[in-house]
Amino acid sequence: MSTEGPLIGCAEAHPNIALVKYWGKRDEKLNLPAVGSISVTLDALTTRTRVTFDPALRRDELRLGDGEAGAARVSVCLDLLREKAGVGWYARVESENDFPTGAGLASSASGFAALVRAADAALGLGLDERELSGIARRGSGSAARSIFGGYVEWPRGERPDGSDSVAHQLLPPGGWPLAVLVAITTRRSKPKGSSEGMKHTARTSPYWEAWVEGQEEDLAAARGAILRRDFQALAEVSERSCLKMHALMMASSPGLLYWNGATVEAIHAIRGLRHEGIPVFFTVDAGPQVKAICLPSFADEVERALRGVGGVLEVIRSGIGDGARVTHAMPVVGD
Ligand code: 2P0
């Protein structure tokens, strides 16, 4: 490599929310999922990341917002990219979210997607999205999906090396412009991280096999609903997948309960709206926040209803977002 100075790349990415959930791994080292999943990428929440490969560094460093964080999972992705580029330099990674971190808003999805995009740009590799998705997956499974915008499927894959477990886009963001209202019910980090929670569930939940067996049918139903733009069918399969995943977790031993009281109240409020004829459905990830998905013309009404739920602190309104992309100069905390 002829360059002598630091190599810098910047990128941004959005979190995604799964409509058909990923929960459980078939290979922990390669981070391969036990089940496929389908998500939408959100445009209102953003992670911005700068990666600087610098010959003066003695290890990879990660700054998340205004605090230093452990860089082990970051290094897994960076090592794969360094190997492809033939670069040995360590990197300084500076990343910030404009939304709460570690509270079930998929900050690891946007975080690792932005990281991999920025590092690819810094190293001048120009990898395609499928390759980036496979590398982002090694940092966090759901990040494989945030490389893409719109409606995204990440298949389980069958190969032991994971080469067939990379995401692809089902529809671009403009292909079906739904609205997503995120009801924030706490700003605290969740008690158990997803990786730990998945392991615990697979080991102890009596529903584990049923969960894995039912997934292909849910994926086919959601994929079909998205391609036909069939809101009712998507609502049905999404709520089913969400409740199945939480039932699976709750039945593990000891039970894993990510919800608080406001989570339950918000779910009832959304179902109440649907009984009144408003096309809206809910989903909840590994945290207490509730996401309501509706046709954009009903977003005001759904937002008003969620704001009226006791314990809902804030409602963030989002559309369907683009995939991870390179940005030019990025100011980060401390600049
Ligand atoms: C999902 N979740 O499909 C599911 C639903 C949370 C609930 O993907 O261990 O942070 O890093 O691969 O991607 C959260 O899990 O887990 C997640 P790892 P990740 O969105």
Helices then strands, counting H and E runs in the chain, come out as: 9, 16
Q: According to the model, what pLDDT value does residue 4 have?
A: 74
Ligand 1 pocket test, candidate residues 29, 142, 145, most atoms within 8 A of CB: 142
Q: According to the model, what pLDDT value does residue 196 have?
A: 93
Exposed/middle/buried for residue 274 (C-beta within 10 Å: 0-12, 13-18, 19+): middle
Q: Tell me, in angstroms, the distance from the centre of ligand 1 to residue 194's CA.
A: 6
Ligand 1 pocket test, candidate residues 194, 198, 243, most atoms within 8 A of CB: 194
Q: Tell me, in angstroms, the distance from the centre of ligand 1 to residue 5's CA.
A: 37
CA gap 28, 138 in Å, rounded: 9
Q: Quick count: other Cβ atoms within 10 Å of Cβ 66?
A: 9
Q: According to the model, what pLDDT value does residue 3 have?
A: 58
Please tell me if the CB atom of residue 26 comes closer than 6 angstroms to any atom of ligand 1: no
Mean pLDDT split into 10-residue runs, the chain, 335 residues: 79 97 97 98 96 97 92 97 98 90 73 98 98 98 98 98 97 98 86 89 98 98 98 98 98 96 98 97 95 98 98 95 89 50
Q: According to the model, what pLDDT value does residue 66 have?
A: 87
List the chain domain ranges.
Answer: 1-335
As its CATH architecture, domain 1-335 has 2-Layer Sandwich (3.30)
Ligand 1 atom at minimal distance to the Cα of residue 20: 3
Q: What is the pTM of this model?
A: 0.95
Q: What is the DSSP letter of 320?
A: B
CA gap 45, 14 in Å, rounded: 6
CA gap 109, 102 in Å, rounded: 11
Classify 127 as helix, strand or coil. coil
